[in-house]
Each structure stands twice: as C-alpha cells, then as structure tokens.
A and B are shown apart, each in its own frame.
Chain A
C-alpha cells in the first residue's frame, strides 16, 4: 500500500519534471558525467534553451 503510494508519487514527480522540461538539466548533467566534460552553469544552460525557443515558436491552437 505504502509502496504503491510512493511509486505513484514518484511517477507524478517524474512526469512533471519531464513535461516542464526540468529533466533536461538532469539529462545534461548525466551526459556531462558520462562523456566527461565540464557542464555549463544552470543559468547558462537555461538561457541557451530559451534562446532556442525564441527562434522556434510553438503554436498554441484554438
């Protein structure tokens, strides 16, 4: 019972992190670790990402 509640909670947290794009940072850090390079700061990383969305507008529908 407790176990499944924890699992659902974790699932929701995972989902929200993915949907909001927060997980991108974790993935980037993971990549930096496995490919062994010095990661940039989170501020620069997020700035880089928002720069990209500046040039690629996502339509919102009716």
Chain B
C-alpha cells in the first residue's frame, strides 16, 4: 500500500469507528439515521478492500491467466463474456428483491441496533462470502447448479436432500412474497388500480417488442415507465371514476386473482408478460434504491425507534414472537445472508464472467449492495412514529382493526398514538386504514413516503406511498412469475428422470400440469397465510426466514467442502465461521419453532393449546369461531411439519458432508470436478473502476485484436 492509500483507508476506518461509537452509545436521545448509513458504507468499503481481496486471492486463488467458462465455451447465449459492470447489473437485479426490504422492517420491532449490526456484520462475514465463494466454485465447474455440485462433490443423498429443500423452500418463499402483496393491496383501491394496470402495460410492451419495433428495449421501457407513473398518479382518482368499490378487494379475492395470474403468467410465452415486466421492475428497483439513498441524505431523518426494545429481550413482540437470539437473525434474512443467492450465483452469472478476479466485484460487491438496500429499508421503518409502526404491523387479532382499539392496544405495548392520529396517517396517504397492514410493504411505503416528502417537498405523500407500494408489488410479482417458472422446470426435470416425456418443456400437458402443481402449492400456503386468525405474516415469515437461512447453510456446507477438497484447510474458517453461525441460529430457531412449549413460538405447542381448548368446546383468543380454532390447528400442524422437514433436510446435507470433510482434511485435498486449466486470451479489468495499468492493458489488447474487431468500442 502506498502512504497515500494508507491515509485514505485510515480516514474511512475513522469515519466508521465514529459512526459505530455514536450508534453504540446513544440511548434515549435523538439519533440521526445518517449514522447508520455511514457506519454501513465505511464498513462495506473496508470489508471489500481487505476481506474480499483476501478471500479472492488467498482463499480462492483467483487466477486471471485461467480462461473462464464464458471465454472457453462462448456461444453468444448462455456462455457469453460480459462486461463486468453490465454483469454486476444483471446479477444485482437477479438477487435483489422484496426480501431485504421486508425483513428489516419486521425486525425493526426489536429496535434499530440489533438489525443494523447483523445486516452489516452478517453481510461482511457470511452473506457476501457465500455469494462470492459459490459463484467462484460454480464458475470453476462451467456454471453447474448448486444441486448438481452438491450431488457430485458431497454425494447423492445430500444432493437429493438439497433438491427437495430448494424446491420446497422456494414454494414458501413465493407464498410469503405473495402474502406481502396481498396485505399491501387488500382494501387499497388505489394500489389495486395501479398494480392491475401493470398487466396491460407489460402486455403492450411485449407486443411492441415482438411486432412493432423488435429489440428496442430502452425505448419501450421508457414508454412503459411513463405509463407506470401515469397509472400511479391516476390511482388518485379511482373514487371519482367510480371504481373504488370494484377495486376494494378482499384478501381472499386477491389470493384468487394472484393464483390465476401466477398460473397464466407462467405458461404464457416469456416475451408477452414476463420479459417486459422484468424490464419495468428492474428499472423501478434501481430507481427507487438510488432515490432512497439520495432522499435519506437530503432529509437526514431522526430515528424514532429505540436502539433496543424490550421485545428483543422478552420475546413477546406483536410483529413476530421470539427473542433477539435467534429471531432477529432469521427475520432480517436476505439483507445479511440469503441462501437463494446461491441459486443465482450458480445459475446464469458464472457463465458470463470474463475474468476470474471479477467474482469479487460481482459476488461480494453485489451482496454488499443488497445489504445497503436492507439498511435503507431498516432506516425507513425506524423513522416513522413507533405507535404507528406497531399499529400497522400488529396482527388484526391484536389491534381489533379500529383506530380506537388499535390505539388502546399500542398503549399496552408502551407506545402511544391517538385514534385521530391513526386515522390522519391513513388519510395522508389516501388509504382506508393502516391498521394491521402487516407484511412490511405498507410500513416501508409509509417510511419512504415520509423520507421523500421531507427531501423533495411538494406534499406528494400519497403519490410516494403508492409509488413505493407499486415498486414492491411489481418486483414481487416478477419474482412470483419467474419463481413459478423455475419451480415448474425443476419439477419437470425431476419427474423427467422417471418419466422421460414429462421433461419436455414444450409438451403442454407436462408444462401446464407442473405449473398447476407449483401454483397450487404456493397458492395453498398463501391462502393459509391470508386466513390465519393468528396473522399470516406473524406465522409464516419466521418459516420463510428460517428456510432461507437453512438454504444458506446448505450452500455454505458446499463451500466448506470445496475449500477442504481443494486442499486449503487453513482457510476453511472463512466459509466455516459463516456456516457455524448460520447453523447455530437456524437450528436454534427451528428447534424453538418445533419444540418450544410457548404456544406463541412453538407450532406444536400452539397446536396442542388450541386443540385442548377445542376439545373442551372453548374459544381461545384471537379465534372468534370454532372454525377458526380448527383452522389454527391445521395451520400450526402444517407449519410445524414443514419447519421440521426443512431442518432435517439441511442436517442430512451437513451430515453427508462431514465424512468428506474428514477425508479431505486427512489427505490434504481430494479430486474435484473442477474443469481443467486452460490459458486465457482475454484482457479485462477486475473492478468497477479500471486502474491506469488495466486500461493500458485493455488498449493494447484491443489494438492487437483490431483486425478481428467485432465488439463496439467499450468505454473504460
């Protein structure tokens, strides 16, 4: 390091240390949200510069003289050398979704500090490590999928367990995401109006690209975004248009609509609905994230929540039950560590990397960016009035649904908000009510609306609220479309092993029935969540969080296995500490969810409490009828069984890996399925900003290749 960069990094470290100290010491006073923002940014910078570099060059041993699969197998389609910055965009768009937005909002019930620490520390030592290491190992194996790598490197039993886990966890994921949308749109005619219009807008874009002006994606996205904004603005007048009653949908009607939509979208050709929606949602995603970061810096909001609330210590919070350990970790989920990213990092991304060293920027850097999204969401949830926060996020069974009852309930929690203020808050964003609008989206939208209104002025609170709802709903729906399709392919592929014809994706009976099975599965869980008397988010979100973290444990098990097999036992602690911590939190959480004797936490003790009451013919709150009692019993059984199943599947993968670890450690390495070395003939920079030396190297390389020049001039 040069003296200059030492001073520079010293300054970054100092900023970070000051921010963390302020956050650690401030209690009960006004704390600016910017402390969190800059604590995060400076920590990311240091982690990227030092830890990610160490992992890339020491642990993984990235080798720029080695040709990547994109270079060796280039076919212009799957395998395609892609500019690192472009690939970063693709990868980020694929990994970022509603998870990092919703998780921190719910976890905010424990105060801002625990989530802040976990989002930042977790991403640095676990989440980003997982993404980068899986990406690297998949790249070294020509882009093999997570399941394939587990089967080949650990064993068939582990492979099958991983496959079942991935499929069933995906179903839960889709159901919970869809539940977030249902809760955001129920009783919101404005929301239904603008989200509903995205379907014709996307169809229009699809036909435009197919028939009118093929390939003009930028142009059509511009038109689409303009129409989208018009749809959001237009929602303001649903009342005047006489549509308010028609568009005020009950949660069950929305479930019905979503299931039909999900099925149709997954069997329609991609160009018609899925691809154009994806353009819109990616544009909105990036736009809102950038806008939110700017908005936060301009608005400099004060944190309204406590650093650590009593719910963190007592585990009796209304949003979800359980103490800080382990539930804050599994609730934050995707923003710190997300098992699902392992599927992306072993999917399309590894087939498009031009240079091995770029795994650092794309894998580690992409996840840091996602973590930053989670931090922004946490801030947005922590700057709204806490009485309002708990009124929005407590289940209907607790708040009673009316402003008076909700205000009283919030008072029993130790916060205060008057019924008039609750009604005024709903009115300010043109919603019928904000009480018990669980799922995180309305809270986040309210927070974003507050930040934007402060930052940009103009009294557009209602517009910004619905803008934020649209942004979340749009990419949740894209995730639902894409997820259903991926699930359908997985199912067809699996059944195709036994019945070959079923694997043919152009055979309609197979694709339609597989789609129906996938939609039916998440649709059932969604229905259960929407009608759960105990509150669906309250029940299902822990299941979602734990299953996502369990998938991460499976991915990290593979990382540990491969580090050992490659004979790098001395560095095994890098994925090892992430795996150990993840196993501790997921196993504790699953254990509590299955075996806890507290009916608010343990699914089975919940089941027995309600069935004992039902046998005596008694009603147990918040159930109001015997049917609801029965419903709670069924739901907690299903949830408990799923929870146990996920945990057991993960343990099977880990258990089948342990003998491989021991053998590899003893022998100092084992043969793997890594593709053999071939020299690279490509020159490309490693990081977002190319160094002077790299620029020169690329120029020389391009001059050399001038006669073959096919690529248009790439600005560096």
Contact = CB atoms under 8 A, between A and B. Distances in A.
A34 B708 contact: yes
A27 B80 CA distance: 12
Interface string A15-37: 11111111111110011001000
Given A53-B275, A60-B479, A62-B479, A42 B215 contact: yes
Contacts of B486: 57, 59
Interface string B258-280: 00000000000111000100110
B466 interface: no
Contacts of A42: 214-215
A11 B715 contact: yes
Contact of B173 (A25, A30, A62): A62
B78 A30 contact: no
Contact of A43 (B214, B275, B483): B214
A54 interface: yes
B715 A61 contact: no
A20 B82 CA distance: 12
Nearest to B101: A62
A35 B489 CA distance: 37
Interface centre among B77, B89, B173, B214 (most CB of A within 10 A): B214
Contacts of A57: 270, 482, 485-486, 489
A15 B217 CA distance: 13
A43 B214 CA distance: 5
B275 A50 contact: yes
Nearest to A23: B712
Interface string B269-297: 11100010011000000000000000000
Interface centre among B94, B217, B221, B347 (most CB of A within 10 A): B217
B98 interface: yes
Nearest to A19: B89
A24 to B, nearest CB: 8
Interface on chain A toward B: helix, strand, loop, or mixed SS? helix
Interface in B180-206: none
Nearest to B340: A61
A43 B216 CA distance: 11
Nearest to B215: A46
B215 A25 contact: yes
A47 B89 contact: no
B86 interface: yes
A7 B347 CA distance: 34
A40 to B, nearest CB: 11
B491 to A, nearest CB: 12
Contact of A22 (B97, B215, B341): B215
B439 interface: no
Interface centre among A11, A20, A42, A45 (most CB of B within 10 A): A20
B569 interface: no
Nearest to B716: A11
Contacts of B278: 60
A60 B221 contact: no
Q: For chain B, which range describes its interface: under 10, 10 to 19, 20 to 34, or 35 or more residues? A: 35 or more
Contacts of A34: 708-710
Contacts of A18: 82-83, 86
A9 B486 CA distance: 37
A27 B711 CA distance: 6
A21 to B, nearest CB: 6
A60 B483 contact: yes
Contact of B95 (A30, A46, A61): A61
B482 A60 contact: yes
Nearest to A56: B78
A60 B130 CA distance: 18
B218 A20 contact: yes
A62 B78 contact: no
Given A47-B214, A62-B479, A14 B714 contact: yes
Contact of A62 (B85, B209, B338, B481): B338
B99 interface: yes
B344 interface: yes
Contacts of A54: 269-271
B216 A61 contact: no
A53 B98 CA distance: 23
B478 A60 contact: yes
Nearest to B173: A62
Given A59-B482, A60-B475, A50 B548 contact: no
A39 to B, nearest CB: 13
B519 to A, nearest CB: 15
Contacts of A19: 86, 89-90
Contact of A61 (B78, B221, B341, B505): B341
B543 interface: no
Contacts of A58: 94, 347-348, 482
B177 interface: yes
B18 to A, nearest CB: 33
Contacts of B154: none
Interface string B131-153: 00000000000000000000000
B482 A26 contact: no
B334 interface: yes
B712 A59 contact: no
Interface in B403-436: none
B96 interface: yes
Interface centre among A15, A20, A46, A62 (most CB of B within 10 A): A62
A46 B271 CA distance: 10
A14 to B, nearest CB: 6
Contacts of B375: none
B122 to A, nearest CB: 15
A22 B218 contact: yes
Contacts of A16: 218
Given A61-B97, A61-B344, 19 more contacts: A15-B85, A15-B89, A18-B86, A19-B89, A20-B218, A22-B216, A23-B712, A30-B710, A31-B710, A54-B271, A56-B78, A58-B94, A58-B348, A60-B478, A61-B94, A61-B334, A61-B341, A62-B333, A62-B340
Interface of B: 76-78, 82-83, 85-86, 89-90, 94-99, 173, 177, 209-210, 214-218, 221, 269-271, 275, 278-279, 333-334, 338, 340-341, 343-344, 347-348, 475, 478-479, 481-483, 485-486, 489, 505, 548, 708-712, 714-715
Q: Which 7 A-B pairs have the closest CB atoms?
A: A62-B99, A20-B217, A60-B482, A46-B214, A18-B86, A57-B485, A60-B479
10 contacts: A18-B86, A19-B86, A19-B90, A20-B217, A24-B76, A30-B712, A34-B708, A45-B214, A50-B210, A61-B338
